[in-house]
Chains A and B, each alone.
Chain A
Amino acid sequence: MEPSSPRPAGILVVDDRADGLRTVSAVLSELGERIVTASSGQEALRLALDEDFAVILLDVRMPDMDGFETASFLRSRPKTRHTPIIFVTGIDENPHHIERGYAVGAVDCLFKPFLPEVLRSKVRFFLDLHRKTEDLASANARLKAEIGERKRVEVERDRAQAELLQGQKLQATGQLAAGIAHEINNPTSYILSNLATVREYLKELSEHLQGSLEEPLASPVQGSSPAATARHRKMGKDEVRLLLQDFESAIADCLTGAERIRNIVRGLREFVHPDEALLRQVDLRQLLENSVELCTNELKYQVTLHREFQDVPPVTCFPVQIEQVFVNLLVNAAQAIGNRKGEIHLRTARDPEGVVVSVRDTGPGISSENLGKLFLPFFTTKPVGKGTGLGLHVAYKIVHAHGGRLEARSVEGKGAEFLVHLPIKPGLPPENGSGEGNGR
């Protein structure tokens, strides 16, 4: 859209005869619009390219460049391509003339001598049209600017939201650090200690094996030679068996401990990787499937999965974080079921708040007393070494940061259900709390 001149667009009157210009100007003066005159096609072109006109009145018969040529030129220039042209021509001209006029882009024709009111009314129509077109254009521009502004605000808000989330994550990281240190310290302690012991075991065993290998050569007769005994402490069968047994359980403890550390770190992944914080529109069902995939190990033996996915609109969120929420809920459900056989029901549905995802297990359920403490950091009902007490807390934090709600329902003995309510777009967290507290 060309920037319109500050003056309202006027009328351009083109005629090589001064009296013609005067007549038309006089008739049109009543309209109160600005009238610009040109006495040749060239002058008309120059003027029309210089400023905007609502309508051009063009005399057909002119020396050098006649009305048709002038019109063709006007039509060929982007600035004047759509300016309405009214040809003014004598009534005696042959019909071919008129036809040609329309062919080169005239929108109307006026025959001389004309009635003043006819001229005025035609011109008034085009003035009106021009004004309306301009109004529309400026309304359009306003709308475009408004949309641009809204988009900008939206981007700004998303960015602020991302920053807020990051800030909350950092704060949460600080709160968690102390507890995590302890959680990691214990397994680290016995892993290191066991490895030190196991190295001794290995030494003892290899000495024993060396002794067995050398024995037949060094002492073919009954009893071992004193020399061999001195170099290699020989163990009795029972001793070897016990050592091997304990070797195995030491390694098993190391594995369990290392897994525990891995789980803690996995539970925290989201808190330490800001790069993964990208807001995207995702289908929660897909995210759920991904999470199930991630938990295959925890789910494969004892758990039967049921899916009841209703159509849900895409949700704008930090997908890696929401995936983490689902993973934590799935692992939690699987651990609740434990070694028994059990079921996990996954459900998605629309919700007044946006979308709700439910993870329900057929485990032992949660006592009403524990239900209130569920989302506190390091709260766990699992035996030492089994749960980190972080999974639900982290899940709670993430959902809260998305402006959603994590809700836990359970009747003791009848399983538990966790409901993740997420808005279609992340809003601000519902309250300013630090996120601790119950899930009600």
Chain B
Amino acid sequence: MSDAPGPPVVVCVDDEPAILASLQRLLRNEPYRLMTTGKPEEAVTWVLEQRARVVIADQRMPGMSGLELLELVRSCSPSTVRVMLSGHSDLSGVLQRTKIEAIDRLVRKPWDADELKAVIRAFVSRA
């Protein structure tokens, strides 16, 4: 699939459907198309196919951790902005303190609605 016309795409992956549903709701009127999935592999496929501007990943997922996913995206689609959406306890202390190449931005759960909107919008328009 080549250049998909239309609004820019943001891919979000989390193993909890209720989280995805709440993000769909929250970001429904934002100037991009939000695609959500519970499967990290699907997220990677979408990022590539849709040339996603932003990818948002949870850290705790079965199969592949969020960090692993973002590392993967970084190598195969470097222009995609990588956001980690995670609770405090999900990342080890080292990960929390050090700057990690694979993560452009860390957003804490529970997120602030306005802050999350602003962050993603800024990344989408930057690209």
Contacts and interface: CB of A to CB of B under 8 A. Distances in A.
Interface of A: 178-179, 181-182, 185-190, 192-194, 196-197, 246, 249-250, 253, 256-257, 384-385
A196 B88 contact: no
Interface residues of B, number: 20
Nearest to A246: B25
Given A193-B113, A253-B21, 6 more contacts: A181-B88, A182-B60, A194-B25, A197-B22, A197-B26, A384-B15
B35 interface: no
Contacts of A178: 89
Contacts of B110: 185, 188-189, 192-193
B109 interface: yes
A188 to B, nearest CB: 5
Interface string B4-32: 00000000000111110111011010000
B90 to A, nearest CB: 6
A236 to B, nearest CB: 16
Nearest to B113: A196
B17 A182 contact: no
Nearest to A198: B25
A193 B111 contact: yes
A276 to B, nearest CB: 27
Contact of A385 (B18, B22, B23, B90): B18
A98 B104 CA distance: 117
Nearest to A179: B89
Contact of A185 (B22, B23, B28, B88): B88
Nearest to B116: A193
A246 B25 CA distance: 8
17 contacts: A181-B87, A181-B89, A186-B16, A189-B22, A189-B87, A190-B18, A192-B113, A193-B110, A193-B113, A196-B26, A197-B22, A197-B113, A250-B21, A253-B18, A253-B22, A256-B18, A384-B15
Contacts of A250: 21-22, 25
B26 A257 contact: no
Nearest to A253: B18
Given A193-B113, A246-B25, A250-B25, A182 B87 contact: yes
Contacts of B21: 190, 249-250, 253
A3 B18 CA distance: 80
**Top 5 A-B residue pairs of the complex, sorted by shortest distance between their CB atoms:** A185-B87, A190-B22, A189-B110, A196-B113, A193-B22
Contacts of A190: 16, 18-19, 21-22
Nearest to A199: B113
Given A189-B109, A196-B113, A250-B25, A182 B89 contact: yes
Contacts of B23: 193
Contact of B19 (A189, A196, A246, A249): A189
A181 B60 CA distance: 13
A252 to B, nearest CB: 9
B94 to A, nearest CB: 15
Contacts of B60: 182
A197 B109 CA distance: 16
Contacts of B22: 189-190, 193-194, 197, 250, 253
Contacts of A181: 87-89
Contacts of A188: 109-110
Nearest to A196: B113
A187 B87 contact: no
Contact of A186 (B19, B25, B26, B28): B19
A86 B15 CA distance: 100
Contacts of B87: 181-182, 185-186, 189
Nearest to B58: A186
Given A181-B87, A185-B88, A196-B113, A384 B25 contact: no
A192 B18 CA distance: 12
Contacts of A179: 89
Contacts of B17: 384-385
Interface in B22-80: 22-23, 25-26, 28, 60
Contacts of B16: 186, 190, 384-385
Nearest to A201: B25
A186 B89 contact: no
Nearest to B15: A384
Most buried by B among A190, A192, A196, A384: A190
Interface string B86-127: 011110000000000000000001110100000000000000
Given A182-B90, A185-B87, A186-B109, A197 B25 contact: yes
Contacts of B113: 192-193, 196-197
